Structure 1
Amino acid sequence: MKVIDANDLIMGRLASTVAKELLNGEQITIVNAENAVISGSKVKTLTDYKEKREIGSIEHGPHYPKRPDRIITRTIRGMLPYKRKSGKMAMSRLKVHVGVPPQFANTECTTVEGAELSRLSRNKFVKLSDVSRRLGAKF
């Protein structure tokens, strides 16, 4: 089992790497999901996520999450063939947590190469916790 610390990692790059590893049979746990970052303008990112939440109806969906752990899970799901058996099996091997649960407190966490925040040339990014709070999440 692989434990990844999402602290200051770019969410899209993290998600694509994790999706590939899940399809290869790895079991992955992501901790500190709220500290992941989304690259791009803060205003544009916040309006995009707010618009995604307002699409559809309460009964019929689509249902877009507010919480940071569920946003990362949904992003990874979008990179998998989640309606097929291989995608469902891959999603069952993924666990995402806000903060660090007690069972992983003493576990050594890895990081994803190429997904570091230092990779960005500008300081245009927003933390996933800020996006979640704007959407109304309480964590």
Structure 2
Amino acid sequence: MNIDGKNLIMGRLAAIVAKKALLGEQINIFNCDEIVITGEKSRIFSDFKRVKEMGTHSTGPHQPKESFRIAKKKIRGMLPYKQSKGSEALARIKCFNKVPEEFKDAKLETIENINVDNTLISKYVTLKEISKFLGGKDE
């Protein structure tokens, strides 16, 4: 399954993707930098900043800075990744910021009921903005 992540809500997308991966489906998520997290911008940034400032660079916890890695870590939170079935499901999930050449001709699906444009939610932040805030190299 190839999913276009543009304007999809992160938590809802992560739950759907995790469930399908546990059922054995191979999932590719494209345009991860355009996935949104809903809520007040200042609260979202303060949450990410708090995790970033914990510990040291050698001891962790380590917060990913690139948007596709942020998305994969959020999906990992929906999986029992310490068990074999969860780690196998996580291996079936691939996240990309753009559409790579090998998937250029692939048909991208979107999930309409989790699109932020189809809801009444007006406060949200894209993963690209969060990545830029954390100092990531997303373009």
Please say whether Structure 1 and Structure 2 have the same fold, judged by a TM-score greater than 0.5: yes
Partner of 2:133: 134
Alignment of 1:25-40 (within 5 A): 25-40=24-39
Alignment of 1:46-61 (within 5 A): 46-61=45-60
Q: CA separation in 2, counterparts of 1:132 and 1:34?
A: 8
Q: Which runs of 5+ in 2 are unaligned?
A: none
Partner of 2:105: 106
Q: Which runs of 5+ in 1 are unaligned?
A: none
Q: Percent of counterpart pairs with the same letter? A: 42
2:119 matches 1:125: no
Partner of 1:75: 74
Question: 1:113 Cα shift?
Answer: 4.1
- Indicate the RMSD between aligned Cα atoms, in angstroms: 1.1
Aligned residue-pair number: 138
| TM-score with structure 1 setting the length | 0.95
Partner-residue secondary structure (3-state), 2:114: coil
AA paired with 2:76? R
Partner-residue secondary structure (3-state), 1:114: helix
Whether contact under 8 Å (1:26, 1:93) holds in the other structure is yes
Question: 1:118 Cα shift?
Answer: 2.3
Whether contact under 8 Å (2:81, 2:87) holds in the other structure is yes
Whether contact under 8 Å (1:17, 1:112) holds in the other structure is no
Whether contact under 8 Å (1:5, 1:30) holds in the other structure is yes
2:17 matches 1:10: no
Question: 1:120 Cα shift?
Answer: 3.2
Q: CA separation in 2, counterparts of 1:35 and 1:23?
A: 25
Deviations 1:13-58 (A, max 9, x none): 1001000001000000000000001100111111111111111221
| TM-score with structure 2 setting the length | 0.95
